[in-house]
Structure 1
């Protein structure tokens, strides 16, 4: 997406204009970085994106969009997902909760063997801050993400009913079902211990074991050939929600892996995201 080359030697000089023509006539949303406190007083940052056509003093349906990793971060770079949502009338909050990089070692290790705990509190604080500044309509909020963003979405919707819609992409359900099946066996062992020696933690970290708490309409998505976070996770969460009589859908992209690469599928995914949030928000 929009990237340009610059040179810096005492002063900043732009060298290319590659994206200018493709962006001509396209309205882009304004983005602001804000800081706020989480439940335990930890300072957290998030990027707040105003919807295109934003009017001062008006609150908006809002999407809490969560990054993957968790060893990753949102930054000032162009984010096509946030711009897509903003172009369709949504405010977007992109938090960097504990587990994110760029805030020191202690902050980055804040979710080790404790997924869905500190980071859950941090992203909920982001929503609360958005309400406090008047941007967020608390009656119309959605949550979503891909990879660990989808995993954290699962932890969110098993702990709160504040969201009217959720999108969980390439996410985790029952942690033990991935042992020896995905590519993270050693990581699981180092972080959680062996599943037969520490079954309580493996069970505690599995959103599937709290699926009966989900009342948020949820769209599950993933690639058929994903060996990073296999699609069986989304299939199990979807089937469980169907059995419980909850609103849910499952979309599986054939011949796709952890990231969706085929342009027609990328477009389909964006259209489904917008349609899902439009339906409930």
Structure 2
């Protein structure tokens, strides 16, 4: 199937596909999306095309229902989409420069993730390349295919480490010694306590052997890339004695390390962040992103190039002001391709070495370039509001003409009627234009009044998009209208828009969210007596702020929130919170109190549920407990849902995603006056 992106034909093609794939039979009862479908859905990602353009390796993901986790493995197909087949267990596949092998990571000896290499001939011999105590990250082939570079954590001990205890009696069992913490950042969500150890750059022969450490010192190193001649590896770090001082939180520089001697050269020298080195095919230039030191909460980075020795740095992206990433040089060295998420969608762009950014695709989709072959044949993924995402092949010379290669969820969604997704723009205060989307129930009746869910994204520097969203579609299938918006602070709309909440979050974005609700009420199909609001992380912060500043919602769910910035600073892994305030709270507490929802709790009348993972280190459980206890004290109906096996968020485990959906509706139905949710038992729902 071919679609012409950026034209009316695109919308017609999507509509035709959706009608064919999702429309129920005329005689059949409407089949709606259910949580059963979620457990059967699959995903495809990271397609990598071979250098000669003949084969594509990609990752297929699914839900392991028995072990309550998400699994993935590598698959392979011909470039025309034929001969799809399982390849091996693992992920992160990358073709060798000559196309004869792939490297990938998988569980190995002695434990944890290791690097493997598989020959891509008929024999398919596979070898384990590394045997690391700590797993590898970002493995990269050398240009000649003889080496693999990667980063890995090297353990060490705290300086303030041991003390000499009196002799232990024979046979005595004593408590294990304490953990010594010395660094400002000593824990990380989804990892736990990470005070000791440093991430360094290594190389290992592609045939296997002992990995050789190239960098040293008490610093972390990442973002690696080989020089085209294979003599150096570029990386990002900040190798300074005071690297961990709060005043240096923005600092990073680009360095080069010699593969043979280990000599390290510093290539950039800026007060601010230089990162993501990407050398040109001929090795003369290095592209990178940079931003100057600032006091804002958000700025989009700009794109630069410099000579190989670090001289001649110059800006090539001009005044282009959007979030960008995934840079890949054109084969002729004329510039770089990259993906941009902007105004709710994702498009392919090109920045020329001579200066200037050009957008290469357009349309209401999430278009992502993954890799391309020597002949310019490229592969990536595309998702739309009714299509969860599949792999497409296209030419870099005409990326809008894309051929679909997979349809991994066509069987699961066959016959399912999804809710219509409508894009909406409305004006808020201070002249800001706000973008959002409405998901309507299947069989939507504009003459009926529906309960409304307002969903708020996290970050706060994040962005909702117009792609397929199972959670919102499943709520809509239970007869809710779902509104999700990108209030000021969201990315994708430029630095000024994202930074409009600087030293005023939450609060500055409050009118944007309320304006969205007002817009929905003007449409006439929303029940003003059944308005509900929820969000997680940044969305949880805003939800807790909303219920302290308005009583217009029937019920709310503040998930994984921060409600007290002062206590959060000392307990969250995100120690950068401090920089979002003018002064530390021990110098001036007024701003901290003004922006902390706990100090508005006496105004709350809205029944408010709280849902947080018990292992959360980003918005720790103590924040939820503070608000829960305060609500109880004020006599506000509340319940605290403590998710087991969850770090930040409530949906890492598939079963917890299901619980999140169900507990939200259970709480809203308990306090709303709308009728209960549609279920399979009452005949209007349906499983797969």
TM-score by length of 2: 0.40
Question: Is the contact made by 2:475 and 2:661 (CA closer than 8 Å) also made in structure 1?
Answer: no
User: Counterpart of 2:412 in 1: which secondary structure?
Assistant: helix
Match of 2:390 in 1: 4
Q: Distance in 1 between matches of 2:644 and 2:523?
A: 42
Find 2:461's aligned residue among 71, 79, 94.
71
Is 1:18 paired with 2:404? Answer: no
Match of 2:220 in 1: none
Q: Could you tell me how far 1:114 is from its partner in structure 2? A: 0.5
Once structures 1 and 2 are overlaid, which stretch shifts more, 6-15 or 269-278?
6-15
Is 1:267 paired with 2:658? Answer: yes
Find 2:639's aligned residue among 249, 257, 264.
249
Q: Distance in 2 between matches of 1:248 and 1:159?
A: 17
User: Counterpart of 1:22 in 2: which secondary structure?
Assistant: coil
1:27-66, aligned counterparts within 5 Å? 27-66=417-456
In the alignment of these two chains, the number of paired residues is 280
Is 1:214 paired with 2:600? Answer: no
Q: Could you tell me how far 1:38 is from its partner in structure 2? A: 0.7
> Which digits, 9 at most, give the CA deviation of each residue in 1:36-80, with x for residues without a partner?
111333111111111222112333110000001111111111112
Q: Distance in 1 between matches of 2:415 and 2:623?
A: 41
Q: Could you tell me how far 1:8 is from its partner in structure 2? A: 3.4
Q: Could you tell me how far 1:276 is from its partner in structure 2? A: 1.1
More strand by share: 2
Match of 2:35 in 1: none
Question: Is the contact made by 1:195 and 1:202 (CA closer than 8 Å) also made in structure 2?
Answer: yes
Match of 2:343 in 1: none
Question: Is the contact made by 1:66 and 1:152 (CA closer than 8 Å) also made in structure 2?
Answer: yes
Question: Is the contact made by 2:645 and 2:653 (CA closer than 8 Å) also made in structure 1?
Answer: no
Q: Distance in 1 between matches of 2:555 and 2:394?
A: 44
TM-score by length of 1: 0.96
User: Counterpart of 2:411 in 1: which secondary structure?
Assistant: helix
Match of 1:141 in 2: 531
Match of 1:171 in 2: 561
Q: Distance in 1 between matches of 2:552 and 2:394?
A: 46
User: Counterpart of 2:513 in 1: which secondary structure?
Assistant: helix
User: Counterpart of 1:226 in 2: which secondary structure?
Assistant: coil
Question: Is the contact made by 2:531 and 2:554 (CA closer than 8 Å) also made in structure 1?
Answer: yes
Match of 1:91 in 2: 481
Q: Distance in 2 between matches of 1:201 and 1:270?
A: 35
Greater RCO, CA 8 A, separation 6+: 1
Match of 1:103 in 2: 493
Match of 2:507 in 1: 117
Question: Is the contact made by 1:127 and 1:136 (CA closer than 8 Å) also made in structure 2?
Answer: no
More helix by share: 1
Q: Could you tell me how far 1:29 is from its partner in structure 2? A: 0.8
Find 1:233's aligned residue among 623, 632, 635.
623
Q: Could you tell me how far 1:263 is from its partner in structure 2? A: 2.2
Q: Distance in 2 between matches of 1:36 and 1:87?
A: 26
> Which digits, 9 at most, give the CA deviation of each residue in 1:170-204, with x for residues without a partner?
0011111112211122x222111312112111111
Match of 1:189 in 2: 578
> Which digits, 9 at most, give the CA deviation of each residue in 1:80-102, with x for residues without a partner?
22112101100011010000011
Q: How large is the Cα RMSD of the aligned pairs?
A: 1.3
- In the alignment, structure 1 segments of 5+ residues that lack a partner are none
Once structures 1 and 2 are overlaid, which stretch shifts more, 269-278 or 29-38?
269-278
Q: Could you tell me how far 1:150 is from its partner in structure 2? A: 0.8
Match of 1:279 in 2: 670
User: Counterpart of 1:121 in 2: which secondary structure?
Assistant: helix
Q: Distance in 1 between matches of 2:629 and 2:415?
A: 44
User: Counterpart of 1:150 in 2: which secondary structure?
Assistant: helix
Runs of 4+ deviating beyond 3 Å? none
> Which digits, 9 at most, give the CA deviation of each residue in 1:241-279, with x for residues without a partner?
111111110011123200332222222222111111122
Q: Distance in 2 between matches of 1:24 and 1:146?
A: 31
Question: Is the contact made by 1:116 and 1:156 (CA closer than 8 Å) also made in structure 2?
Answer: no
Match of 1:203 in 2: 593
